[in-house]
Amino acid sequence: MKYDAIVIGSGQGGTPLARALADLGWTVAFIEERQLGGTCINTGCTPTKTMVHRAMVAHYARHAARWGVIARDVGVDLPAIVAQKDKVVRSFLEGHEKGIAQRPKLKLYRAHARFTGPHSVSVDGAPLESDKIFIDTGARPRIPEIPGLAASGYLTNESIENLTSLPGHLIVLGGGYIGLEFGQMFARFGSQVAVIQDAAQIVSREDPEVAAELQKALESEGVKFLLDAQVTQVGRVEDSLIITLEVAPDPVNPKKKSTGSLNGSHLLVATGRQPNTDDLGLEKAGIETDQRGFIKVNARLETNVPGVWAIGDVTGGPAFTHISYNDYQIIWGNLIEGKNLSTGHRIVPYSLFTDPQLGGVGMTEKEARAKGYALKIGSAPMSRVARAIERDETAGLMKLIVDASNDRILGATFLATDGGELIHILHTMMLGNLPYTLLKGAIYIHPTLAEGLWFLMDSVKPVD
């Protein structure tokens, strides 16, 4: 059967694209073998941030005496939290299903798609064709090849959020977004938590002082960290996991690494993501991928095959829901509206939903230095902000990276309560290509967290 468009995968880029094309009157084949909504709705943003919020409530209740509030016998009903999470997910899924059902030009195929040629796919044996095909198949947890791991049993972000019994001692393999969010979450639920990171700092992309401040905040809640450590073996003895490690080299003898072990009840593997491209038959279409399996695209998200585009995590770009949606906006603008949009021009904000949140945009200091910019840098602790002091939530810092040649903002970081919200102020400045000095004379509501920008702007100075 011939369609005007085929959309493979119902992530946060593919879904709005399929709907919008159908609203134009195009006939659209929409193919999804799993739940509608992709990672974000089913196993990513929606369920995890729901549970992160419940963990925050538990943390506030358990430590209420810190704010002069008496709360007794605080406990966590994990089955109830999981049920609430599932209810929120279902509400989003119902919206997706309704949005498809009300569009007669949109045909949903609940099956797996494989390319049979550059512009043809097979779905449950049925041949479908189109001059325009969009791939939005996302990614899944990448599981490292560690002896004994598979046999011993492990959790991923997809399975840990369905636990209804609290782990006694959760070991987290990976100090990135997924590992830290779930690590703090389960520590706040009541588990002992240890995070193993194979690099010298957590959140490796960030500047060292930002990572150190976040680690300090998490350690204050009981989360333990083993940095620059590699897992060499995983074993199980009855209900206990035994993790064998090689830890950081001895500073006196850098060639020597010591070994050790760590015992726990559960192991969460959070070591990255791999694209869902290995069973798409891309070779039949001649679509190129990189060594990790991500689909190669140009700045307009076009593959090497004319008429085939790729969207979202499957391209190997920043793995954020808002990036996938922006991919849709770029494709729509170019294909339908005749614009000349590209991924090369976008400024990407992001947030790690720990507490404090790590909100960032643009370049870090080390990235800006690597690109050879002359810099001005500002930094201020949240402990200077009146609103943070009043709330007794002073963990974190603000940092601003400025191009010294023109006073334009290159990047910024807010490690703070609601840091993911605050960063949008500086993101907007960057979108407008405005100098940071505009904020130096601004009036800020007192007392708000945004008032901290006054201290941040005042701290900006040239650096070597």
Which positions are annotated as active-site residues?
446
Sheet holding 240-249, edge to edge: 230-237, 240-249, 257-264
* Helix 14-23 vs helix 78-101: crossing angle, to nearest 10: 30
- Looking only at the bridges linking them, the beta strands covering 230-237 and 240-249 are antiparallel
Cβ-based burial of 369 (10 A; exposed 0-12, middle 13-18, buried ≥19): middle
Sheet containing 28-31: give its strands across: 106-109, 28-31, 5-8, 133-135, 308-310
Identify the CA nearest to 366 among candidates 425, 410, 414. 410
Using CA atoms, how far apart are residues 18 and 31, in angstroms rounded to an integer?
A: 10
